[in-house]
Homo-oligomer: A and B are copies of this chain.
Amino acid sequence: MPSSITAAPATPPSSSRLPEAEVDPIFVQRWSTRAFSAQPVPAEALRSLFEAARWAPSASNVQPWLFVYASGADLTGARELLREPNQRWAGSVPVLIFVFARRHHPETQQALRTAAFDTGAAWFSLALQAEKLGLRTHAMGGIQHERVHAALGVPAEDYESIAAIAVGYPGAASELPADLAAREAPNARKSQREFVFAGRYVSPSS
């Protein structure tokens, strides 16, 4: 299993993906592909992804994240929990992970204000470990939240459903629906100037 080695890029760098500062290439090379191979993900690799998530930081170390995943025979039902635009490309994805965040502190019952933020840190730990194993990930907010809770047995009063994550090895864009195949490329980013401010925020309109 590779360790601390940046995985090979999924695509060559493009002019829309130029970093503005020196940074580990794994951050720039990772992107949310839609083309996945149907090749199964070994159980050991999946455990490795969840292990990365396990070590994410969280307020008061509550670790508010919860993952319910579908593979094999569970996939047919799980795919129907995605919203239709995501069902169009996720047909061959071998693993779908549904991500939830706990709403209340398990002891004090106080609302966990940063649960979604902390769960985002866990999700991205998982995504980077996936890259290191040659896997790709794609998080989707487009899921049918009520059906997700019901189908996966996760009480909506205890957990917020946030997203689903497609996990698998890279596939061929040519096997996607034509409109999606044409769009299968990494997207660009804002400049740091638009989201980093020293001392005080200055609104773009001022």
Residues of A at the B interface (CB closer than 8 Å) are 1, 3-6, 19-28, 30-32, 44, 47-48, 50-52, 54-57, 59, 61, 63, 65-71, 74, 99, 101, 113-114, 116-125, 127-129, 132, 139, 141, 152-155, 162-163, 187-190, 192, 195-203
Contacts and interface: CB of A to CB of B under 8 A. Distances in A.
A201 B141 contact: no
A101 to B, nearest CB: 8
13 contacts: A3-B22, A4-B5, A19-B54, A21-B51, A23-B55, A24-B129, A50-B192, A99-B117, A114-B116, A120-B121, A120-B124, A152-B200, A153-B203
B196 A69 contact: yes
Contact of A50 (B21, B57, B120): B21
Question: How many copies of this chain does one complex carry?
Answer: 2
Given A113-B141, A195-B66, A196-B50, A125 B27 contact: yes
A183 B88 CA distance: 51
Q: Which of A24, A27, A113, A118 is packed against the most chain B CB atoms within 10 Å? A: A24
Contacts of A119: 117, 120
A54 B193 CA distance: 11
B51 A192 contact: yes
A164 to B, nearest CB: 11
Given A47-B21, A68-B197, A27 B52 contact: yes
Given A114-B116, A162-B117, A200 B54 contact: no
